[in-house]
Amino acid sequence: MANNMSDTVHFELVSPERLLMDVKADGVLVPAGEGFFMLLPKHAPVLSTIRPGVIEVSEVGKTEPTKLYIKAGFAEVSEKGLVVLAEEAINVADLSKSDVEQKLQNAKEDLEDAQNDDERRNAEEAIKHLSGLLKAVS
């Protein structure tokens, strides 16, 4: 475990509405646009897109990482730490697999029933998002 400030990473998760998380971490696994990267103390500066997936935050003093599903966003690593600007963030621990499966089934039915391109696009987006959520809780 980390025992001083230089052994930790400052991590902030920000949504359009508010600051969702502000913690010290031993490391953060990020699903970046070009693949995963693990942010550890003294990481080089990086600016990256985030693809839909799970960010794993190994908070100082906790044995299990906090898992957050991110729909999309940006990650900025600087000497101050990591800031993730997320379009949407959901704590995986708050998700029910059966609820996500039901919502996914509903979205597939919406796609079958779509009457125009907008409805089809919305249903396809929901299916993509819910499929990512289902992977996160499985």
The pLDDT profile of the chain, 138 residues, written as one tens digit per residue, is 434 456 889 999 998 888 999 999 999 999 988 888 898 888 888 899 998 889 999 999 999 999 999 988 999 999 899 999 998 888 888 888 998 899 899 999 999 999 999 999 999 988 888 888 888 887
CATH superfamily of 5-92: F0F1 ATP synthase delta/epsilon subunit, N-terminal (2.60.15.10)
Domain boundaries defined on the chain: 5-92, 96-137
Q: What angle do CA 90, 87, 56 make, to 5 degrees?
A: 45
H-type helices in 33-116, by residue range? 97-113
| CB under 8 A, 24+ apart: contacts of 110-116 | none
pTM for this model (two decimals): 0.77
Single out the residue of 89, 91, 100 nearest to residue 64, CA to CA: 91
75 forms beta bridges with 48, 84
